[in-house]
Structure 1
Amino acid sequence: MLTSHPPGAALEDAFWIDLLDPTAEEVEAVRAAVGLTAPTREELSEIETSSRLRVTGECLSLSTPILARAETDEPELTPMGFLLNAKVLLTVRFALLRVVDSAATEAACLINPTSVSVFTTLLEVIIDRAADLLEASGAELDGLSRQTFRNADAPRRRRANPSLPQTLSQVGRLGDRLGQIRASLLGVSRLVPFVSEVGKDWIGPEYQSRLGAVRADVLSLADYLSFLDGKNQFLLDAVLGFINTEQNDLFKILTIVSVVGVPPTLVASIYGMNFAHMPELHWKLGYPYALGMIVLFTVLPMAWFKWKDWW
C-alpha cells in the first residue's frame, strides 16, 4: 500500500511517502517519481551496520527493527527502512505499525512539514512507544512479583502456589518482549548519531537538537531496560526456586511415607510367616499384641518426623 503526505498530493510533491508491503508497481512508481528505490525485506533485515546505515549520493539509507503487535501475546520485530534526503522521506515496512499512524497524525499538524521534520517526529514517536511498553512491562513485573512472593510468609503446609507454572510462562514472555524492545532501541541508538553527523549540512539546528534529545532518551530508556532485565531475571530465578522447593517437599512426603511404612510391614511380614513353631500364634493376646506393635511402629516415626519439623 502506498501513502503520500500531504494526502492526495502527487508523489513528486510529497514530503513523505510510506510503503506498506509494497508491490512491484508501487516500487516502480516511487522510483520514477522521486528517484528512490525501495529496499526489499531481505535487505532491511540484514544486521550488519554497513547495511543498516548507508549513504547513497545525497540520500541516507537507514533501517532498524521495530516492535509490531506489542499489545498482543505474540509481538514480533519487523524491519523498517528509511530513505531520507532534504526533499523527501521514504519509509518502507512490511507490517502495520502504530508508530507510523501516530507520526502521520502529528505530521498533519506540522507547519511547513519537511522530510527531516517528519523523520524526527517518527523517531520521537518510536521512543515514546518504547517508553510506554517499558512502563507496562515494569507494572506487569511488579504484579508478578507480588503474586509470586505473597505466600512466602505463609505456614509451611500452605505455601504451595498452583499458579507458579503460569507465572513462569509470563516471566518468559516478558523476557522476550524486553529483548525485542532492546533490539529496537539499539537500532535507533545507532541511527540517530549517524544521521546527525552525515546530514549536518542540511539538517537544521532545531532538528539537530531534537535528534540529540532522542539520543538522550534512548540512553535513559536503556538504563531502565537494564533494570527491568535484572528484575525479570531475579523473578525467573525465584519462580524456579519455588518450583524446586515444592518438588522437594513432594519428594520429602513420599520419603516419609515410605519410611513410616517399613516397620509395620516388617512386623506384619514376620507374623505372616507359616512356620510350625511360632509361640505368639498360641497367645491369647497375640493378635492384639501384633496390631499394637504395628500401630506403635507407625506412630513413632511419624512423631519423630513431626518433632524434627520434617513434616
Structure 2
Amino acid sequence: MIRNITLHNGQILVRDGLPPADEATSPFVWLDVSRPTEVELAEIRGRYGISPRSDAPGVLEEGDYLFVRTLLAAPRAGHDPDFHPVTFILGGSLVASFSAEPYAPFELALQRMQRRPRQVDGPRDVLRRLLQAANDASTLAVEQLADALTLSSERITQLSTGYNEAGQELGVSDLTDTMLELNEREDVLTQFIEAQLTLHRAVRYLSGEVDHKTEADLQQLVHELLEDVRGTKEHAAFEHEKVRYLQNAVTNILNIKQNQIVKVFTIITAVFLPPTLVGTFYGMNFSVMPELSWEHGFTYSMLLTLLSAVLPLIYIKRRGWLR
C-alpha cells in the first residue's frame, strides 16, 4: 500500500498511490509505504530510482538519497509493545518510509502536520516529525513497561510475605511464574533499548543532513529530539536494571523458600528419629524383655516414645531453628 502526502495550496493532501507525474512541484513528497507489493516497489523504483534493501547496513548513502534502517516501538494497551522495522529514505524533496506493517504512530505525525500545514518545511522537517512521533510512541511504551514492573514489584513483595491480598498462601510455583514473566520483560526491554539506539542513529544522521546556517530553527528542533530520544533510552536502561534487581529478588526469595522446605523436613526427621529408634528396640524379638511383664509397661513405652520426640523439639525451639 502506498500513500503520498504532499503540501498543496496550504493544505496537506493524503492520497493513495504515487503523486501524478505532471503535478506541480510540492515542497516535499512523503511516501508512506506499508505491505508493498512487487508492482508498487517497481513503480517507486521507476519514478524515484529507490527501493529498500534488506541486505543494506543500518545507514547507507547512495546517490542523492540517505537510507536509514530503524526498529521502532509501538505501544499496545495491556500488552508488551510491538516492534516494526522501518526504513527511511531521505532525498532532496522526497522522504519515504517503508515498513512491513502500517506503523500507527505515523498517523499522529500526519495529524500534527494537518493541524499546522504551513509549519511543515521540506522533507527533512517531515522526517523529523516522523522520528518525533516514533519517539513519543517509545516514551509511552516504556512508561507502560514501567507500570507493569511496578505491579511485578508489588507481587514480589507479596511473595516475600508468603500470602497474597486474599490471604492465600503463595508457593514456589508462584515464584516461578513471576520469574518467567520478568524474563519476558527483560527480553522486551533489551529489544526496546536496541530500537532506541537505531532511532538515535536516525536522528543523528538527520542532524548531519540539516544546514546549520539556513535551517537553524530546524537544527535546534533536531537537537531537542536527539535529547528526547537519549532520555527515553536512559529510561529504558533504568527499567532494564530494575528488572535485573527484581530477578535477583525473586531468586533470593526462591532460595529462602527452598531452604525453609529443607529445614521443615530436617526438623521432622530430627523429631521422629528418636521415637523410631525406641520403636526399633521394642520390635526386637528377644526372649527376655522385662517391660513385657510390667503392669504399666505399655504406658512406660508410650511415655518414653513421646519424651524422645518432645525433647529434640524443645531443643530445636530453644536454638531458634523454627523461625
TM-score, normalising length: structure 1:
0.87
Following the alignment from structure 1 to structure 2, what is the Cα–Cα distance between the partners of residues 166 and 203? 57
Return closer, same or farther for 1:170/1:91 CA change in 2, 3 Å cut-off: same
Alignment partner, residue 64 of structure 1: 70
Partner of 1:161: 170
The aligned runs of 1:237-256 (5 Å cut-off) are 237-256=248-267
Q: For residue 93 of structure 1, what is the aligned residue in structure 2?
A: 99
8 Å CA contact retained: 1:64, 1:80: yes
Q: Which moved more, 1:199-208 or 1:143-152?
A: 199-208
- Are residue 143 (structure 1) and residue 151 (structure 2) matched? yes
Matches of 1:168 and 1:122, distance apart in 2: 37
| 1:91 CA drift (Å) | 0.7
The alpha carbon displacement at 1:111 in A equals 1.7
Please report how far the alpha carbon of residue 219 of structure 1 lies from its aligned counterpart in structure 2 after TM superposition. Answer: 2.0
Specify the alignment match of 1:126 in structure 2: 134
Deviation at 1:115, TM superposition (A): 2.0
**Is contact 2:70-2:195 (8 Å) kept?**
yes
Matched-pair contact (CA < 8 Å) for 1:160–1:246: no
1:111 to 2:120 alignment: no
Task: Tell me how far 1:19 sits from its aligned partner.
Answer: 1.4
Hey, what's the Cα distance between the residues in 1 that align with 2:214 and 2:225? 15
Shift of 1:60: 0.8
Other structure's SS at 1:257 match: helix
How many Å separate the matches in 2 of 1:194 and 1:132?
A: 24
3-state DSSP class of the match of 1:7?
strand
In the alignment, what sits opposite 2:4? Answer: 4
Given that 1:127 and 1:217 are in contact with CA atoms closer than 8 Å, whether structure 2 keeps it comes out as: yes
Contact 1:19–1:93 at 8 Å: present in 2 too? Answer: yes
Say yes or no: does 1:289 pair with 2:300: yes
Which residue number in structure 1 is paired with residue 47 of structure 2? 33
SS at 2:14's partner residue?
coil
| SS across alignment from 1:175 | helix
> Which structure has the highest strand share of the two?
2
* Partner Cα separation in structure 2 for residue 216 and residue 69 of structure 1: 21
Aligned-pair identity (%): 24
Comparing 72-81 with 171-180, greater Cα deviation is found at 72-81
Matching residue within 177, 194, 216 for 2:188: 177
**CA-CA distance at 1:154 after TM superposition:** 8.0
Q: What amino acid is the match of 2:15?
A: G
CA RMSD of aligned residues (A): 2.6
Tell me which of 188, 205, 221 is aligned to 2:232: 221
Distance 1:221 1:271 in 2: 75
Verify the 8 A CA contact 2:74 2:138 in the aligned structure 1: no
Counting matched residue pairs gives: 301
Question: Are 2:205 and 1:194 aligned?
Answer: yes
Task: State the Cα distance separating 1:108 from its structure 2 match.
Answer: 2.6
Please list every run of 5 or more consecutive structure 2 residues that lacks an aligned counterpart in the other structure: 6-12
Q: State the match for 1:269 in structure 2.
A: 280
Question: 2:32 aligned with 1:18, yes or no?
Answer: yes
Tell me: CA distance 1:305–1:96, structure 2 relative to 1, closer, same or farther (3 Å): farther
Tell me, in whole angstroms, the C-alpha distance in 2 between the residues paired with 1:115 and 1:287. 100
Task: Give the unaligned 5+ runs of structure 1.
Answer: none
1:31-68 C-alpha deviation (Å, 9 max, x unpaired)? 222332233xx33xx6xxxx111211111111111124
Structure 1 residues 131, 68: closer, same or farther in 2, change over 3 A?
Answer: closer
**1:206–1:95 CA distance, 2 compared to 1 (3 A):** same
